[in-house]
Chain A
Amino acid sequence: QVQLVESGGGVVQPGRSRRLSCVASGFTFNNYGMHWVRQAPGKGLEWVAITWYDGVNKYYADSVKGRFTISRDNSKNTLYLQMDSLRAEDTAVYYCARDKSGTSLYAMDVWGQGTTVTVSS
């Protein structure tokens, strides 16, 4: 079945780095754009980043621009989020999500279960 499984979360000290992974299965990964969306404890949803189907075009929320990098390895059906210079306000559940489109913005129709990142000393 169509599935996204995130991993890589955990407790990390402020200023340090962490890489999240999202493995896709059940669909042709390289046909779809992919997002990262996060949710701070008790808060709403915040879009983080998108990469189009080929991994060339990428866009970021201002809150993470210059610190986070989204990438994908289509040969491994895997999406990544490299998070550098982490701050306390990056503490959240991070979800990967599939976009219905490969090359434009549309709807996030498949979501992973989320992985929790806690930034704390």
Chain B
Amino acid sequence: DIQMTQSPSSLSASVGDRVTITCQTSQDINNSLNWYQQKPGKAPKLLIYDASNLETGVPSRFSGSGSGTDFTFSISSLQPEDIATYYCQQYDNLPLTFGGGTKVEMK
């Protein structure tokens, strides 16, 4: 199984701050990585697919980059509605695996 190491597990930031989350995989997955946002009590929502492609309707302040084993997810200017937990997920190989999540809180 491909192991996903996501960091940090939590962070606190202010409105307007740039937020960065990293995801490292245990083997090369090319760009087969997605990022999801999950708000409390809600289903996950796809934000980024193929490591860097913005899903339709997702604000442009969200972005993703990376390939191989190292990936980065960023929010360029944190907004109050971005408070959520974010997960990376690989689809290079079964079983599909998720990172442990990063809880983003407002300072």
A→B interface (CB under 8 Å): 35, 37, 44-47, 50, 59, 61-62, 95, 97, 100, 105-109, 111-114
Q: Whole-angstrom distance between the alpha carbons of A108 and B34 in the complex?
A: 9
Kindly state whether residue B55 has any CB partner on chain A within 8 Å: yes
- CB contacts (< 8 Å) of A37 on chain B: these are 44
Q: Whole-angstrom distance between the alpha carbons of A87 and B87 in the complex?
A: 26
Q: Whole-angstrom distance between the alpha carbons of A14 and B46 in the complex?
A: 33
Q: Which of A107, A111, A114 contacts B91 (CB 8 A)?
A: A107
Which chain A residue lies CB-closest to B94? A59
Most buried by A among B44, B100, B101: B44
Number of A-B contacts (CB under 8 A): 58
- CB contacts (< 8 Å) of A108 on chain B: these are 34, 36, 44, 46, 89
**Chain B interface: which size bin?**
20 to 34
Q: Which of B44, B46, B55, B91 contacts A45 (CB 8 A)?
A: B44
B→A interface (CB under 8 Å): 32, 34, 36, 38, 42-46, 49-50, 55, 87, 89, 91-92, 94-101
Q: Whole-angstrom distance between the alpha carbons of A108 and B55 in the complex?
A: 11
Asked if A44 contacts B96 (CB within 8 A), the reply is no
Asked if B55 contacts A109 (CB within 8 A), the reply is yes
